[in-house]
Each structure stands twice: as structure tokens, then as C-alpha cells.
Amino acid sequence: MAGAGLEDIVAGETSISTIDGKRGVLTYRGISIHEMADHSSFEETVFLLWYGRLPKAAELDDFRNALSRETVMEDRVAAWLKSLPAEANPMSLLRTGVSLLGLADPEEGASVTPEPWKEGFRYMGQLTSGAPGFGRDHPQSRKAIRLLGRMTTLVPAIQRVMKGQPFVEPKAGRSVAFNFLRCLTGKDPEEGSEKIFDKCLILHADHEFNASTFTARVAAATLSDLHSSVVAAIGALKGPLHGGANTEVMRMLLEVKEPSKAKAWVKDALERKRKIMGFGHRMYKTEDPRATHLRRMSESLCAKVGQPQWYEMSRLIEEAMWELKAIKPNVDFYSASTYYCMGIDPEMFTPIFALSRLSGWTAHIFEQQANNRLIRPVGEWVGPQEAHWEPMEKR
Ligand code: CMC
């Protein structure tokens, strides 16, 4: 039988992102995550993931504007959101929110039949006006742009539902990072915050066949629609072994409270067989390359806002985990203190992960449906060889 958890099993081909876990390498369409984090923007990253190449200047402008135009939610979606229970889990609200966006989508019923679908995706590299196929002319492309645009304002709206606050309108022509922070806080972000957040979005955008992406591909392979596949992915991301870990990391830091207690806290937790959130990875045998950037960002941001304890505590926990378990931090560890020092509530950390990863999920949904075969593995039977129904009085 395959290893538990399908470890090391190749489940399909992809040309979107790849990981070399031994060397700590992650690439998007062959480009190192370090180059992307240092030089790119989230919108450019999404373009790269969706269309397979970096955009030219006019194409990037065009794409940015298209996303920005789609940030405004329909009035009826806003009204439905306001009727949701404020005390609900934010990822449950997000899952429901994406479902509502699907109901309101003007092309909700667009059929996903294999042949026209393949035809459309043959042109994945040609987005600009006039290009045939997948460009704006394809319903799935329009839906993807609408969904990512709306997600920019849906995620902050979730927090506002939870706090009973009014929704904030996005600004036309601004980036996903800018409008997200504006709609979350009610204030236009400073350029520095926009840049840091943009980098966080780049770092979380895609990660090969991780659990939520694989879930999205399984749903997409039945030729289900984009919103349904994304709702399935959100369900998978919610769990603490996946995206839910970043919120749990901040809960841990708040529980530890001060750097002097960090190492003893880790030792005690490990003795009680607790898993330390934000550590370990199925693929990486060395440093997660995303953590390298987030560690630096956490250090400078915690210092800048006068809360160096969160970074110091994180470093000490990292040291303890290395000394006691030889396990390194993953993407969720330093993103927690980074977001916290940006003034973001811990409960929003996983929905933010979803906002970024939507770009990767969508790219994988496109890729799956462009060359589709139903994903249907087999289970190894470990039940009884033969059993019989028995009348009630004999049981
Ligand atoms: N704390 C303590 N021990 C750990 C941890 C951890 N965070 N991670 C792995 N281990 C130990 C685990 O107890 C096991 O030890 P033993 O063989 O003695 O029983 C060994 O390392 C292998 O762990 P595993 O759980 O079998 O490994 P996996 O590949 O199935 O799981 C993982 C990977 C990420 C789910 C796991 O490392 C984990 O639960 N980490 C904490 C949750 C977390 O941070 N998740 C975010 C993952 S990265 C980004 C994302 O996907 O969102």
C-alpha cells in the first residue's frame, strides 16, 4: 500500500510550481520564490501562475485594472453576508462567502464541458485584448478575475461581519494588497505596509500539490465549477495541519507571553506530545524558503512597531525546536508575528492565506481541466472478508 498520507506519491503533472525539499527550493513557473519575493508584485505573480509567463508592462496594467474593477461585491452578496452569524469561525464565513459569490456570479451556470474547455486553455498565455481562447473571452477566465477581485474585499468584510462594522469601499486602480488593508482597517495603508503585505501574498500564492490545492483539483476534475472547487479548497485549508496553523502560532505566542518563558514552554509542550504549530513540513528537509523571507520581515516589523518580543520569542521557539526535535519552521511560523505587528487580528491570518492561495488554486483548476481525467484512487480494503445483515433481535 502507498505510504500513509500519500507521502511521496506522484498524483499528477504540473508546470505551475515545484518544490525541491532537500535543497529548500520553491519555484513559480521555474522562477525562484526568492526572485519573485524580491522583485515581483502579487498581481504579476498571479499573471505568471495563471498564464504561464511574466506579463509585459501593458498586460500587467490591464490585468491590475481588471482585478481592481472586480473588487466591488454585488449589493445582494453584501446583504447576505451581513445576515451571517458574527460569532462563526472566520474560515467558515469565508467558505460561505465564496459560495454566495458563486450564486451571484453572472456566469454561475456556464457549463464546463471538456472539449471547449481544452480549446480555451490552449491559449493560456494570451490574455490581452483581442487574444483568442482563454483570455477575457473565456467564461472561466472572467470568473477567475471576478473571484480574485471580490476576494480582496470579501476577506476584510468577514472581519467586519464579526465585529459588526460597516463594509469599506475599495479604491479603483489600487493593488490587491492596498484594497485588502484599506477595507480591513478603514484607512488607506502606508506604502510600507502595502509592500510588506504584497510580499506575504506572493510568498503564499502557490505550493505544488498541497492539501487544499489537491482538493481543488479533485473537485475540478469532476468538471465542477470554479467556485465549488474553491469552496472545497477553503475547507481543506481551514485545518490546523494546513493553513489554520498561522492563527494557532499567534495563539501560542500570546500564551507564552514573554521570551524568557519560550524555551521551557516548548519543552513542556513536546513532553505532553503536543505539536508545535508553524513547524515541520512533508516536503522540506531543510529551511522552507518562504520562512527565510518571513523571518526577516518579522524581525524588522516587530522592531519598527516597538513589539520586538514577538520576534524574540519566535527565535527562541525556533532554537528550542531545533535543539529538541531538529524541526524547522514553515511558512506559517513567522507570518504570524508579521501579520500581528501589522495590526491584523490572528483570526484573519488563515483567511489571508486563502486570499493569496486562491491564485494558485485557480491556476491548478485551469491546469487540471485543460488536460482532465477524473481523479479517483482506490482504497485498500481492511474490513471483514464477509459479513451478513442480521435481524434486529439477533444483534
Ligand atoms: N511539532 C512537533 N512534532 C512534530 C511537528 C511539530 N510541528 N511536526 C512534525 N513533528 C514530528 C511528529 O510528531 C512525528 O514524530 P514521530 O515520528 O516521533 O511521531 C514526525 O515529526 C513526523 O511528523 P508527521 O506529522 O508525521 O509529518 P507529516 O509530514 O505527516 O506532517 C505537518 C507535516 C506539517 C502536518 C506537521 O509537521 C505538522 O503537524 N506541523 C504543525 C502544523 C503546521 O505547522 N502546519 C502548516 C504546514 S506548512 C504550511 C501549510 O500547509 O499551511
**Residue 199 and residue 300 in one domain:** no
Per residue in 243-294, pLDDT (tens digit) is 999 999 999 999 999 999 999 999 999 999 999 999 999 999 999 999 999 9
Nearest residue (CA) to ligand 1, atom 13: 275
329 has a pLDDT exceeding 50: yes
**Residue 236 and residue 255 in one domain:** no
381 has a pLDDT exceeding 50: yes
CA distances from 314 to 86, 97, 187, 284, 299 (A): 31, 33, 29, 20, 10
370 has a pLDDT exceeding 90: no
**Residue 23 and residue 118 in one domain:** yes
| CATH number, residue 259 | 1.10.230.10
Own/partner pairs for 56-63, CB < 8 Å, 24+ apart?
Answer: 58/128, 59/127, 59/128, 62/127, 62/128, 62/129, 63/127
131 has a pLDDT exceeding 50: no
pLDDT, position 152:
98
112 has a pLDDT exceeding 70: no
Residues within a 6 A CB radius of ligand 1: 5, 210, 241-243, 245, 275-282, 325, 327, 330-332
Nearest residue (CA) to ligand 1, atom 22: 280
Q: Is 34 a catalytic residue?
A: no
User: Is 3 within a domain?
Assistant: no
**Residue 50 and residue 160 in one domain:** yes
How far is Cα 245 from Cα 90, in angstroms, rounded to an integer? 14
Which range marks the domain in which residue 221 is found? 13-240+347-370
Instruction: Give residue 274 CA to ligand 1 midpoint distance, Å.
Output: 10
| CATH number, residue 39 | 1.10.580.10
Give the count of domains, the chain.
2
User: Is 180 within a domain?
Assistant: yes
pLDDT, position 134:
40
pLDDT, position 361:
97
**Residue 198 and residue 258 in one domain:** no
Instruction: Give residue 216 CA to ligand 1 midpoint distance, Å.
Output: 22
76 has a pLDDT exceeding 70: yes
**Residue 326 and residue 304 in one domain:** yes
**Residue 129 and residue 101 in one domain:** yes
Q: How would residue 1 be classed by pLDDT, with cut points 50, 70 and 90? A: low
Per residue in 167-198, pLDDT (tens digit) is 999 999 999 999 999 999 999 999 999 999 99
Instruction: Give residue 270 CA to ligand 1 midpoint distance, Å.
Output: 12
User: Is 214 within a domain?
Assistant: yes
* Options 227, 281, 293, 364, the catalytic residue: 281
The chain-wide mean pLDDT, for the chain, equals 92
**Residue 281 and residue 334 in one domain:** yes
Nearest residue (CA) to ligand 1, atom 15: 325
